[in-house]
């Protein structure tokens, strides 16, 4: 058994990974704040809190938290309903308290009932959306905000039409050149990275970002026609002093705590943020190379603590985010040190070098996310699901299509519904076999019997004629629903009136502790 990675032994991988995640997270924090109608700095606060606070509290080793695209519509609507930004911050803080309450009710365990086909479908859908959404950014078209996962876009286009528009009608040679070289380098670096020496820990995405900055500065001198405009660069708010930086933090308006709308927003944020976080953490466990399992219920405590603090100091609501988490896994992180450090890098870079960050082309970051998207959406994933049969492949594909053509939350709900339909359908397969040799009959449970098997059990027992001998074999069933036990009891009680000899096999004492009755001498338990 491999040794558990320690803090110091994993630093060589966690530090480079944390830098990659910080580079990916930076434009996402700003883009989601912009799409939410919130101050840009509030997205950075949520990213910093998500890294440092949630990273420290969470038991997940690889998930990364921050502002989430899935909450943008809720935030946008809430800001229209609530009278001020400070009142909204109160709702965010209250949502964190409510999430902590969900932790005490152990609500996190509900995520364990999500079919794996839906989880892998979500990962593949995120990968596909990353590729489709980032190609326009790579070509210089920024009609949709960074981090968007919705099919419909604010610019009137959608994921597919924006892709065609950027390819055929709108592209800029500067961003396209930076993105193309960056993508080629990233895939080459993954294949040819030195296995030994100092370069083995050099993160390819960092090289790509540096290349993008240097290339654009070179364009200004040698090829003005290729210069990437400021609108296609990272745009971090720049503070003139420490006092101005601190002044961007805000505190909630606690006087509004009695407003019904505040509590409605808080409950909505708590439920949606919890659902997204739990599904994200479960998905990250699926792609963890070490296959570690996270305590999902404890994750609610970590997320609640993060949202409470984020609301207290002026940040957006946050969740565990699959894009950042996937980038963390792809960058080779081993422990949650990477998530925590990425929060520190965000804080230090925004505080000390915002003007340097504003030199980074979005095209370079698009190249990084396109590679992450491919790693989530490899052909092998589809082959593996196809080999598992229709009951796995159909929910998998349906989840991908639903997320791609709606948004993350609606798509997951649709995928869950279809997934559960297939679960029920599988359980409707013949669970009871009936055989007979003259007057001797055998009714056997082939697996556990649940509520949905009542009709099949009743129909099988009804086939036993008067005067016959029947063995009801329950030995292969570890669980029998009480309703099915009632059906067996009723059949046994009625047997004496039909001159039927009944023998019941199985460890009856362990069938939900509900004793099977013996109403006549012809009923024998073996």
Tens of pLDDT along 2-48?
Answer: 456 666 789 999 999 999 999 999 999 999 999 999 999 999 999 99
Burial annotation 175-199 (CB, 10 A radius, 16+ → b, else e): bbbbbebbbebbeebeeeeeeeeee
**pLDDT at residue 458 is higher than 80:** yes
DSSP letters along 371-384, please?
HHHHHHS-HHHHHH
Beta bridge partners of 512: none
| Beta-ladder partners of 472 | 443, 504
d(CA 185, CA 179): 10
What is the structure's pLDDT at 525?
A: 42
Q: Give the SS3 label for residue 434.
A: strand
Contacts of 295 (CB under 8 A, 6+ apart): 59, 108
Alpha helices in 452-481 (DSSP H): 454-462
pLDDT at 380: 93
Pairing label, strands 440-445, 501-505: unpaired
Query: What is the Cα–Cα distance from 69 to 81, expressed in whole angstroms?
Result: 20
Rounded CA-CA distance 319/92 in Å is 12
Residue ranges of alpha helices (H) inside 288-321 are 296-313
pLDDT(519) > 60: no
pLDDT of residue 116: 86
pLDDT, tens digit, for every residue of 324-381? Answer: 999 999 999 999 999 999 999 999 999 999 999 999 999 999 999 999 999 999 999 9
Judge whether residue 518 has pLDDT over 80: no
Higher pLDDT, 87 or 479: 87
Question: Of all residues in the chain, what percent carry a pLDDT higher than 70?
Answer: 94
List domains and CATH numbers for the chain.
10-418 (no CATH), 432-525 (3.30.750.24)
Residue tagged 């009932």 (tokens): 113
Which residues, in sequence order, are CB contacts of 239 under 8 Å at separation 6+?
245, 248, 354
Q: What is the pLDDT of residue 111?
A: 85
Token output for 255: 């006087």
CB distance 213 to 361 below 8 Å: yes
Share of the chain above pLDDT 90, in %: 71
Nearest to 29 by CA among 372, 406, 373, 347: 347
Tokens of 237: 């708010």
Question: Which pTM value belongs to this model?
Answer: 0.83
What is the largest distance, in Å, between two alpha-carbon atoms of the chain?
101
Dist CA 99 CA 306 (whole Å) = 10
The SS3 assignment for 360 reads coil
Among residues 399, 99, 149, the alpha carbon closest in space to that of 273 is found at 99
* Mean pLDDT for the stretch of residues 196-206: 85
pLDDT of residue 68: 94
3-state secondary structure of 428: coil
Distance between CA atoms of residues 340 and 342, nearest Å: 5
Confidence (pLDDT) at 520 = 39
How confident is the model over 125-151, as pLDDT tens digits?
999 999 999 999 999 999 899 999 899
pLDDT digits (tens, 9 = 90+) for 442-456: 999 988 888 778 888
Amino acid 248: pLDDT? 94
* 3-state SS record for 114-141: CCHHHHHHHHHHHHHHHHHHHHHHHHCC
pLDDT band, residue 514 (cuts 50/70/90): very low
- Given the DSSP bridges, would you call strands 64-67 and 318-321 parallel, antiparallel or unpaired? antiparallel
The yes-or-no verdict on residue 457 having pLDDT over 60 is: yes
Q: Do 160 and 175 meet the contact criterion of CB atoms below 8 Å apart? A: no
Q: Which pLDDT value is given to residue 8?
A: 74
**What pLDDT digit, counting tens, does each position of 277-318 carry?**
999 999 999 899 988 989 999 999 999 999 999 999 999 999
Angle between helices 173-192 and 362-376 (to 10 degrees): 40
Structure tokens at 58: 């969470």
- Integer Cα distance of 58 and 46 in angstroms: 16
């Amino acid at each position: 058994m491999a040794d558990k990675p320690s803090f110091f032994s994993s630093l060589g991988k966690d530090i480079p990974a944390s830098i990659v995640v910080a580079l990916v997270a930076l434009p996402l924090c700003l883009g989601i704040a912009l799409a939410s109608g919130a101050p840009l700095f509030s997205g950075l606060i949520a990213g910093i809190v998500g890294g440092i606070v949630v990273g420290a509290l969470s038991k997940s080793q690889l998930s990364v938290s921050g502002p989430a695209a899935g909450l943008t519509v809720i935030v946008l609507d809430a800001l229209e309903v609530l009278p001020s930004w400070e009142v909204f911050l109160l709702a965010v803080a209250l949502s964190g308290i409510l999430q902590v309450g969900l932790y005490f009710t152990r609500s996190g365990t509900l995520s364990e009932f999500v079919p794996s086909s839906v989880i892998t479908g979500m990962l593949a859908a995120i990968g596909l959306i990353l590729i489709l959404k980032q190609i326009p950014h790579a070509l210089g078209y920024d009609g949709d905000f960074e981090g968007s996962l919705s099919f419909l876009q604010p610019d009137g286009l959608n994921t597919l039409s924006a892709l065609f528009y950027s390819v055929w009608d709108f592209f800029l040679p500067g961003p396209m050149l930076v993105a193309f070289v960056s993508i080629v380098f990233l895939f080459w670096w993954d294949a040819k990275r030195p296995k030994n020496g100092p370069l083995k820990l050099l993160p390819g995405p960092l090289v790509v970002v540096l290349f993008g900055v240097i290339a654009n500065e070179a364009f200004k001198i040698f090829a003005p026609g290729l210069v990437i405009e400021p609108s296609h660069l990272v745009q971090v708010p720049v503070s003139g002093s420490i006092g101005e930086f601190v002044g961007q933090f805000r505190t909630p308006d606690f006087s509004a705590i009695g407003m019904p709308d505040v509590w409605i927003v808080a409950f909505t944020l708590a439920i949606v943020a919890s659902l997204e976080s739990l599904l994200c953490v479960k998905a990250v466990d699926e792609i963890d190379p070490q296959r570690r399992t996270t305590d999902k219920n404890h994750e609610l405590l970590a997320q609640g603590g993060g949202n409470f603090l984020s609301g207290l100091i002026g940040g957006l609501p946050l969740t565990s985010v699959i894009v950042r988490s996937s980038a963390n896994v792809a960058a080779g992180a081993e422990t949650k040190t990477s998530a925590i450090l990425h929060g520190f890098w965000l804080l230090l870079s925004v505080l000390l070098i915002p003007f340097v960050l504003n030199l980074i082309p979005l095209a370079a970051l698009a190249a990084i996310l396109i590679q992450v998207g491919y790693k989530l959406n490899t052909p092998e994933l589809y082959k593996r699901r196809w080999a598992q049969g229709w009951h796995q492949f159909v929910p998998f594909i349906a989840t991908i299509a639903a997320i791609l053509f709606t948004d993350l939350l609606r798509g997951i709900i649709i995928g869950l519904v279809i997934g559960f339909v297939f679960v029920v359908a599988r359980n409707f397969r013949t669970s009871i076999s009936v055989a007979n040799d003259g007057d001797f009959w055998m009714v056997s449970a082939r697996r556990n019997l649940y509520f949905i098997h009542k009709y099949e059990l009743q129909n099988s027992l009804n086939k036993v004629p008067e005067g016959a001998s029947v063995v009801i074999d329950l030995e292969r069933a570890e669980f029998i629903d009480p309703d099915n036990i009632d059906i067996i009891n009723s059949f046994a009680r009625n047997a004496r009136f039909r001159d039927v000899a009944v023998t019941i096999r199985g460890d009856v004492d362990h069938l939900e502790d509900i004793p099977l009755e013996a109403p006549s001498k012809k009923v024998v338990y073996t």
